[in-house]
Amino acid sequence: MKKIDEEALAEAYNRALALEKAGEVDAAVKAYEEVLALDPEDHGGAAVRIAAMGRGETPDKAPDAYVETLFDQHAEVFEDVLVEQLGYSVPMMVRQRLQALGVGPFQKMLDLGCGTGLTGGALRDMAADITGVDLSENMVEIAHEKELYETLYVAEAVDYLEDNDDGPFDLITATDVLPYLGGLEALFFAAAEAMAPGGIFVFSSETLPEAILAGRRFMVGPHQRFAHAENYVRERLEATGFEVLEVSEITVRMEQGQPTPGHLVVARFKG
């Protein structure tokens, strides 16, 4: 593996950020392309930032190195920032919708993108056995300290699903996972492979007005996270053997004082 020139990388990345902030899009894109040349694994998410400016090809997902770095760096303050400052309450919304639909309790739950254990904590009394998976080792360490999970893995969600010997699961959750994925085919197909017939798949996604999506299935939004069209989510679920039970419009979080619109989706695997 090629050794990264950290000094040159930091200079290019800081220059790109400054140009982006100044609204000099062409120059910012060129600087981010320099970043990618220095760091092909893209720990800083340059490809996602280029797409957020409406340039280049939309990546199929956020780079694993970027997601891992982002959450490793913020693990210690993650809950304070997300819950207290950004008003994130999706795990409790999941609990409320599962109860309202009268599904559960569950025998085996899989919490994809488990982070520090917010969803595991919200659903702990609804599942006999919970497995958590997250790409960030630092996040998993914090989740481990809470003693909410029977099993924890440091892994990318689709990689884990394709290799897992722990299933089948009768509940799979993925809160705050889709904002780091563009194409959903791999995730939904792998989730179906790991589910028991009749199992429940519940997840959140972010979205944007149709005027902005402009017919696109997904795109990178202004805050470097993926937004998905509702019809694309429904279509992909149905194509992989799920029956959509409910799609709720929600506010996923606040961002710079503005609500981030999204969906909370509950689906049943037909098997």
Q: What is the largest CA-CA distance in the chain?
A: 56
pLDDT in tens, 11-28: 999 999 999 999 999 999
**For all residues of the chain together, what is the average pLDDT?**
94
Of 166, 227, 223, 156, whose CA–CA distance to 186 is shortest?
A: 156
**Cβ(132)–Cβ(140) below 8 Å:** yes
Peptide bond into 105 cis (omega under 30): yes
pLDDT at position 1 over 60? no
Across the range 212-227, mean pLDDT stands at 94
Within 10 angstroms of residue 223's Cβ, the number of other Cβ atoms is: 14
Domains of the chain from N-terminus onward: 6-74 (1.25.40), 79-269 (3.40.50.150)
Query: What is the model's pTM?
Result: 0.93
